[in-house]
A = this chain, B = another copy of it.
């Protein structure tokens, strides 16, 4: 075999991962251990790991170890609407936990985004969303009360889009989205099972019905490491 040792080791590790020896998120043995296993020096082993990191197959963290890199959950913005469909489309089991669910007076910002008249009440709910029981996002949704009138809490929180269409004939038209990035606060980090300061993908979305009326204002914080948008334009 002509290729350098570190390339051979690269291939062996890659094959082992593909064969399922380690799954996504698993920690692989430390550089020192692997160096012994492959009968090479640590520097040579590191070179093999390095090439795998560059390919996005592994991730390294000082003090913690080397891990099989995550495949991110992808959101296709065309076609799919809600979180539930999104997860199902990717073969993941969607679930969510409702943190709060209240009828209240809207904040100034909410009132503005939803073009509410004075005195209109809104439903505000906070949820943590999971894919295969892994926290993906924390979201705050604000909906004018008139939209969800007559719907049960379960219908609203489990599949709002489907219920709206089925029971009220309301079909979402377009949406305006604002995307930015920030760091996780202590509270959010706890809900999402990440560390304070970890990267957060922030999405604010105003959804409009086909007649142009805004019917939902959602602020979502996605775990940066576990989520990815895919947009076609």
Contact A201 B175 (CB under 8 A): no
Does chain B have a CB within 8 A of A8? no
The residues of B that contact A108 with a CB separation of less than 8 Å are: 55
Contact B233 A177 (CB under 8 A): yes
Does chain B have a CB within 8 A of A45? no
Does chain B have a CB within 8 A of A99? no
Chain A positions 147-206 with a Cβ under 8 Å from a chain B Cβ: 174-183, 197-202
Contact A198 B183 (CB under 8 A): yes
Q: Quick one: copies of this chain in the complex?
A: 2
Quick one: which of A78, A180, A182, A224 has the most chain B CB within 10 A? A180
A residues contacting the other copy or chain, number (CB 8 A): 36
Known: A227-B180, A233-B78. A197 touches B200 (CB 8 A): no
Contact A232 B55 (CB under 8 A): no
The residues of B that contact A175 with a CB separation of less than 8 Å are: 232-233
Within the complex, what minimum Cβ distance (angstroms) separates A175 from chain B? 5
Within the complex, what minimum Cβ distance (angstroms) separates A202 from chain B? 8
Within the complex, what minimum Cβ distance (angstroms) separates A232 from chain B? 6
Does chain B have a CB within 8 A of A44? no
Contact A224 B109 (CB under 8 A): no
Does chain B have a CB within 8 A of A74? yes
* A contact residues vs B (CB 8 Å cutoff): 54-56, 72, 74, 77-78, 107-109, 174-183, 197-202, 222, 224-225, 227-233
Which 5 residue pairs spanning A and B have beta carbons closest together?
A181-B224, A181-B201, A179-B229, A177-B231, A181-B199
Known: A177-B229, A183-B224, A199-B199. 5 other contacts (CB 8 A): A54-B107, A72-B180, A174-B232, A180-B225, A180-B227
